[in-house]
Amino acid sequence: MQLHLTTWQEVETYLEQSSGIILPIGSTEQHGPTGLIGTDTICAEAIARGVGEATNSLVAPTINVGMALHHTAFPGTISLRPSTMIATIKDYLTCLAKAGFKKFYFINGHGGNIATLKAAFSETYYYLSEINLPHAEQVQCKIGNWFMCPSVYKLAKKLYGNQEGSHATPSEVALTQYVYPEFIKQAPLSEKVASGYPIYSASNFRSRYPDGRMGSNPALATPEHGQQFYELAVKDLSNSYLEFINAE
């Protein structure tokens, strides 16, 4: 079930059965010469819908702009500041919590979102207590990073070894190729690719990683690999979600 394709009466009925909801969150940022700018959002959304179908759970609209300030020296990247993202997540959760939702499971496609999401959860817990929401103490949030699922990580290492890298990876590019085969991109990639530099400002990032890749070789990606990553992530995160909503 997708929240934006339901009516309020259907949501009210759903809440009689479950207080859990899945929230896909990604980013709109450069992913090297062959990676789609929407890669992180595409991956999170596809997997979230798969998990929703597998668990018969409600899936919220995708949050498609995240914290990607270090990528903003590349054209096309859109980012929220951490403070803006915290406020946005808090507003999302407050509205849903007031409606009766208690368990919020974020399926995340962007590593740069993790720290800000955790800060947003803390802000939200505090705020809901301050406004005396009756079930504030029962509100819980959890992040499921699809790219960190043990089965996904294991397959990426098997298929790509050290060429998986840490950004514009063949695993995430493969997943977008599976979801959108009509938008597979081709471009020359240099054999030498930067890796290992810490992340600071946007201009520093681009000077260190001039084509946007971080130690990765996305030329290894195939739609067939993407289907494998999708199926593994949906299975792992479905189990994780069910454990989360059934825990006291």
Give the pLDDT score at 144: 98
* Rg, C-alpha atoms of the chain: 18
The answer to whether 66 and 23 are in contact (CB under 8 A) is no
Q: What is the mean pLDDT of residues 174-183?
A: 98
| Residue 167 · residue 191 · CB < 8 Å | no
The pLDDT > 90 percentage for the chain reads 100
Distance CA 54, CA 231 (A): 11
> Is the model's pLDDT at 248 over the cut of 90?
no
Cα distance between residue 169 and residue 160, in whole Å: 9
pLDDT tens for 14-70 read 999 999 999 999 999 999 999 999 999 999 999 999 999 999 999 999 999 999 999
Mean pLDDT, rounded, of the chain: 98
The pLDDT assigned to 209 comes to: 98
The model's pTM is 0.97
CB of 64 within 8 A of CB of 41?
Answer: yes
3-class secondary-structure state, position 35? strand
Output the pLDDT for position 64. Answer: 98
If one counts every other C-beta atom within 10 angstroms of the C-beta of residue 8, the result is 8
pLDDT of residue 224: 98
Q: What is the pLDDT of residues 182-209, one digit of tens each?
A: 999 999 999 999 999 999 999 999 999 9
The per-residue DSSP string of 57-102 comes to -EEPPPB-----GGGTTSTT-B---HHHHHHHHHHHHHHHHHHT--
Measured CA to CA, the distance from residue 47 to residue 86 in angstroms comes to 23
Going along the chain from its start, the domains and CATH numbers come out as: 3-246 (3.40.50.10310)
Burial of 147 (0-12, 13-18, 19+ CB in 10 A): buried
What proportion of the chain, given as a percentage, has pLDDT over 70? 100
Confirm if 63 and 78 have CB atoms less than 8 A apart. Answer: no
Mean pLDDT, to the nearest integer, of 214-238?
A: 98
- Model pLDDT, residue 94: 98
Strands 20-25 and 103-108, by their bridges, are parallel
pLDDT tens digits for 59-109?
A: 999 999 999 999 999 999 999 999 999 999 999 999 999 999 999 999 999
Q: Provide φ and ψ at 140, rounded to 5°.
A: -135, 145
